[in-house]
Structure 1
């Protein structure tokens, strides 16, 4: 491969943003979170977004040594000081796998069809190319955009900006009022609740199973794990479970859960959500994933959740879609990954 600094074709300057849209442009700051959250809520409601964000999750975008909002974000402010549009290029460099910044943004419904969205995609892509050019590891690279499958406006914008649909992810849910399956725990395996004492072992198991075998995944370092996996306000350690090899006392499978109550009103039901589930290669094919998922479903049901939910890459090579279907999960709305390969 050519050096990533060459392949990324980073611009010296970021493209100008519309001067005729009634907006002034500057980076986001932590003080902007309340106004930023108002914009995000308005756009999510207008677009019937599958997943909703909280103000705390937006504030988390200012944490992490790899984040630089002063350079990686931009916001459009109207004459009254309200944020009407924003874009952010989020990039955590990795040492193996794929260098893959992802672009997020939104335009208030009142400011759409003025070229603002397309200009923001161009701006954030240019910033992503600059970020890629600074990465130390010369790896395959792509720039990513995600769109809800039903959001035709966002999908048209991605395609008009030169992005191609590459992967489809489907949301699935399991009705917890229905009897849960009786899944036997394989011999030599112990299932126990997640504990902070096991956290580093879980991260290592993640990097050796999920990051190795799931398309597009890269290892997660300790800082990113602490912030993005177990440090979020919605993480539920009491709904998370581990599979332990009794012979070695090693984590060989795990399931991490969250309670995203901001989604429950718009979707019309309560739900325990499985953020991550994976099993090490040597333990696959023995029903370990089913054991973990059933244990989590029991934890969700015990707190009155109506459904268990998760999403899955439809091309997942581990056969996860079949596992979920056999456990009673049913397909719901999905999302699409758009990319430019670098």
Structure 2
């Protein structure tokens, strides 16, 4: 029986989870997702499920999967992210190339409906160990544009992470969704405005994927609050954390993922990120986490790589962002 090509379905979470587990077992990229994680992905408003996804099916098995995720806003271009994978048992049949070619044909027309007149770029991230996938993207007209590091830091049970003091006039406090959510969105958008490939988040996408996602851990998230001259408080830096139970189920390691660290421009170079990281590491250690991890642009203009290295993080692996202008 041949493969059938059709979009992802709203009830595909379990089949998709089985697919991602098989892919991860072969590729070892550190990405583990369970059916609940992927059910959340299937509800993403930045994905057109009917027209912006494609699967190759062999009965109940997803042999290949591709998903196009549009930017929250056009800033000024729509950076459409392609997430594509082929089940190890079905590799070597040209399915990966077909997924990429479909994405090239599909992304621009869908983008034109969301952001009329905006330029369109198709982006894809490839783990450094997956040289075959990298070669495939280059063969299909993509060029390597940027590099990112995944960094990790162990949290030994017998070693308490050092406390990093905040500068005078600033308090590090736990994230309170009711009190800090709106201000944190403002800080995030300002902090990342000069970061390559960053997109301004809307209230909807912020709450869907930052502070409303099932992986979000407000108890491991913090804000830096400064007192203004008029006595009012202002959130000037943020740290948001997530936890993926699917990772622990596979690896046995309880890992805190620091998903977002950002500081308002006027407050940079004052040690706020270090103070926030110190607070998060201390709480993660208290809760029994084994490790902390984060991702960073290798060429971040803020010097973030050095900040993370001083906090004890070391590079685990590198990913390459491939881009094709459409």
CA positional deviation for 1:128: 0.9
Q: What TM-score, normalized by structure 2, do the two folds share?
A: 0.92
Residue 35 of structure 2 is aligned to residue 74 of structure 1:
no
Query: CA 1:97 to 1:294, structure 2 compared with 1: closer, same or farther past 3 Å?
Result: farther
What pairs up with 1:83-232 in 2 under 5 angstroms? 83-136=62-115, 138-177=117-156, 178-197=159-178, 198-210=180-192, 212-232=193-213
Contact 1:89–1:101 (Cα < 8 Å) also in 2? yes
Higher fraction of strand? 2
Shift of 1:265: 5.5
Q: Is the 8 A contact 1:89 1:125 kept in 2?
A: no
Could you tell me how far apart the structure 2 residues matched to 1:66 and 1:313 are?
Answer: 23
Superposed displacement of residue 334, structure 1: 1.9
Please report how far the alpha carbon of residue 203 of structure 1 lies from its aligned counterpart in structure 2 after TM superposition.
0.7
Equivalent pair of 2:68/2:81 in contact (CA under 8 Å):
yes
For 1:1-342, list aligned pairs within 5 A: 22-78=2-58, 80-136=59-115, 138-177=117-156, 178-197=159-178, 198-210=180-192, 212-247=193-228, 248-264=232-248, 266=250, 269-342=253-326
Residue correspondences, number: 320
Residue 138 of structure 1: how far off its partner (Å):
4.4
Q: Say whether the 8 Å CA contact 2:152–2:291 is kept in structure 1.
A: yes
Aligned residue for 2:66, secondary structure, equals strand
- Measured after TM superposition, the shift of residue 234 of structure 1 is 1.4
Q: CA deviation at 1:49?
A: 2.0
8 Å CA contact retained: 1:258, 1:273: yes
Describe the superposition over 1:98-151 as per-residue Cα deviations: whole angstroms up to 9, x where unpaired.
Answer: 310011122111211111110111102211121232343644542101111111
Q: Which runs of 5+ in 2 are unaligned?
A: none
Could you tell me whether the CA contact under 8 Å between 2:108 and 2:120 is conserved in 1? no
- Separation in 1 of the partners of 2:250 and 2:16? 20
Given that 2:163 and 2:282 are in contact with CA atoms closer than 8 Å, whether structure 1 keeps it comes out as no
TM-score for the superposition, normalised by structure 1? 0.88
Q: Distance in 2 between matches of 1:218 and 1:289?
A: 21
Q: Is the 8 A contact 1:57 1:232 kept in 2?
A: no
Quick one: distance in 1 between partners of 2:52 and 2:223?
36
Deviation per CA, 1:75-101, whole angstroms, max 9, x where unpaired? 1111x3322112111113514343100
What root-mean-square deviation, in Å, do the aligned CA atoms of Structure 1 and Structure 2 show?
1.8
In the alignment, the residues of structure 1 paired with residue 93 and residue 70 of structure 2 have an alpha-carbon distance, to the nearest angstrom, of: 28
